[in-house]
Structure 1
Amino acid sequence: MEEGKEAENKRFLKKILLIINCIIQVTGTCGGPLVLRLYFIHGGHRVWLSSFLQAAGFPILLIPLSVSYIMRRRRYNNHHHITTIATKPRIFTMKLPLFIVFSFVGILQGLDNILYSKGIASLPVSTSSLVIATQLAFTAVFAFLLVRQKFTPYSLNAIIMLILGAVVLALNGGGDSTAGESSKTYVMGFVMTLIAAALIGLILPLVELAYKKTKQIITYSLVLEIQLVASIAGSLFSLVGMIVNKDFKVIPREAKHFELGETIYYVVLVSSAIVSQLSGLGAMGVVFCASSLMSGIMIAMSVPLTEILAVIFYKEKFQAVKGISLALSIWGFVSYFYGEFQQAKKMKKNRIPEIEQPQNHSNINA
């Protein structure tokens, strides 16, 4: 009876953690392109710099990691006298295999960041956000291949609607190019963003696969470490590009000529780094609490909100083409979550009460 109650408490805590990470991911996914676009439309031109910023906010992860360590250290000091089995807590617990895997994932993220930066430099926020939403289709395919993701008619319908939304944009987006940009630039931006979406679709299932295959118990503290390692690797990838392109020499000059002022220029850079880090952390957390497909859904869910914010803050046009694409995307979102609701309802109805066994390699403890 007590084991059943403990399992129920763990499920409840994991749901709360999932909600928190969903909020973090949506905040970062909506805010990231808005801040990056602010940089580009007011005089910023360094795509390697913007790519670097998408990973460079990792120092903020040291705050929750430090809090987690203090809490684990306190629990250890309170209980280590009861047993000699418990090992002394460490700030970093990641073992070498995971370090290697997520260093590679971080490099993939760095590649994705530069593709996304090149895309968003050429596209309005509303268009690039709708294109990036197609990552859900790629996530679904790779999730099926890598982690044997199961699909329902509702989730398949959601994927189809998102693909159709992107196709509508691709066929009719030529007239949506930003002032002063050629159709060729628009098409290149569209293609870059689409490739970035495909890469995101690969990265999320890879993260889920790593969580499942590792012999190390995955806790949320370890998720923070994983995001830290991946972000450092992604930052180093972009840092090389910045050095080759001599961005460090250009930054002071670019700041002086920034339309909103030199101080605001640096505020934009720091804000971009922090917001983008929230997006990455939230994605890692949602994969930990649920699945890579769910994380992809949260990215796609952010599109309508980003659309509205872009129209409000940047006065971007909301043409009929975008309206159709947005409607198809919303149709897909609703279809997916309706299917999830029906499936959860069915499982709850048919569930036989039993003592739940702990999930393989998953632990919500900090």
Structure 2
Amino acid sequence: MKTAEIINFLETVAPTALQEDYDNSGLIVGDPGMECKGAMVCLDITDDVLTEALQTGINLVISHHPLVFRGMKRFSEKNPVGRLLIRAIRENLMIYAIHTNLDNTWDGVSFKMAEKLGLEKPSVLDPKKGQLLKLITFVPLNHVDKVRNALFEAGAGEIGNYSECSFASEGNGSFKAGDQTDPFVGEKGRRHLEPESRLEVILPIFRDKAVIQALKASHPYEEVAFDLVPLANVFERAGSGVVGSLPSAMEEKHFLALVQKEFDIPMIRHSALKGEPIQRVALCGGAGSFLIPKALQAGADIFMTGDLKYHDFFEADGRIILADIGHYESEQYTQDLLIDRLKQKFPNFAVLKTGVRTNPVNYFL
């Protein structure tokens, strides 16, 4: 199949509009029009990963971390990133990154962590703002159901855990068709009043094109009147981190032992234990120290993430346990998440998980 088919699917799983400003998710190297011989999923691009892809006949490498984060002015093999870019181009390998957009999506990286720990009723710890629009359109009364259903199928109408949400109110619309028109109702050159329904739905900003396309395809009028209004509401189904609850409270050391087992961690750095049971758990894959205040606001007993600095631990202040389980360790199951999604969508397509452990951090025990 064409690489574009894989990319289009991945961007329905994790829309690039959800990535952070500093990120560089998307196709880093390659042509989406190329035939894809198979995909290899990894956390990081290394020489060993590229070698493995070549040896298995795969020409698309899907990495969680982008090979290129910032703009580059020089491409040199003396630079590790430049060397890998040059090699990928020489070997005709494509590289695709799916990073903070996968972190920020529902059922993304942090949700996979929550699943490993068996957390119940997981929700986004820090929902994103500025991601919602309200579509307002005007539809002849006997076409409202058709248009509404089309909007729902295109991804509009979701509010929290509810779907197919809309509002409609009746009124009269007026218009006068010009000489070059073919009006659905009314006559050319005469003002027409039509009983219409004002139909309103909410949609994520990354679905606007699909929803507008569905609106125009299902609406009977030549010229479809609609408004797209930005909303200040937070988007509860996208954002950073996850918070949820254990089925039953656990003693602190027993919970840390569970984390160590489930994430195969040789050691856990943590703040002082409080001597209280743990039930409400907040977590974030990768580097999540910026979410410590959100974990406190959510009433979490513990916050798990990676890359905590010395001074970050002081923020616990006896109110919460902070646990650093490692950046790689917290994100390692992202590979399984992506492979599962790809195999469900493309059951006859070759998708492999790299056998290379790309964690640059080693432990001496």
Q: Report TM bin, short chain.
A: under 0.3
Structure with greater proportional helix content: 1
